[in-house]
Amino acid sequence: MESQGTELFEKALEKGIGTIAMKPMAGGAFTKQKLSLKYIVNSGLINVAIPGMDSIEQVIENASMGDGTEALTAEEQEEINEEVKILGNDFCRRCGYCKPCPEGIDIPNVFLFEGYVTRYNLPEYGKSKYEAMPIKATACVRCRKCERKCPYNLPIVNKLKHAVETFKNI
């Protein structure tokens, strides 16, 4: 999803400093998990990837990607590019540049908690975190100040609306 760290990783490698890819599947948003790990293995820049796993099968499948020495094919790279393109318009990176919302909504956390529901299969937990927020997404007055600041041009207002629906349906 993000490649701006490449130069830094190269420098780390040069200096013998280890690197860890945290959230290598974009916090569960990236649907082609095996390709994501193959991409990381092939990059030659990362020493360890630490995807979240919730079953023994996932551990076995993910670990097996570390054995592979096969190069990423052009088709696979294209598949990755396609997914990145799609997610690019919708995926909150939690950078916080949209803050502060004049109404006090913690925008990235709304999307994080929605992700617990939609991606991590933790509906009750996600909803409880959202319910505990002092100011809910429903407080949005659609001023769009946040959208003007989001470097990824995310449709924040619509995404907040979507999050409200997600929590309502649990």
d(CA 19, CA 5): 11
C-beta closer to ligand SF4: residue 52 or 108: 108
C-beta closer to ligand SF4: residue 59 or 141: 141
Q: For residues 95-154, which are near ligand SF4 according to CB under 6 A? A: 95-98, 101-103, 105, 107-108, 140-146, 150, 152, 154
Q: Which helix (H) or strand (E) holds 42?
A: helix 33-43
In the bound complex, what is the minimum distance in angstroms from residue 163's beta carbon to ligand SF4?
11
Q: Which helix (H) or strand (E) holds 61?
A: helix 56-65
Q: For residues 34-73, which are near ligand SF4 according to CB under 6 A? A: none
Peptide bond into 151 cis (omega under 30): no
In the bound complex, what is the minimum distance in angstroms from residue 91's beta carbon to ligand SF4?
8
d(CA 25, CA 80): 11
**133: which 2 tokens?**
């927020």
Residues that bind ligand SF4 (CB under 6 A): 92-98, 101-103, 105, 107-108, 140-146, 150, 152, 154, 156-157, 160
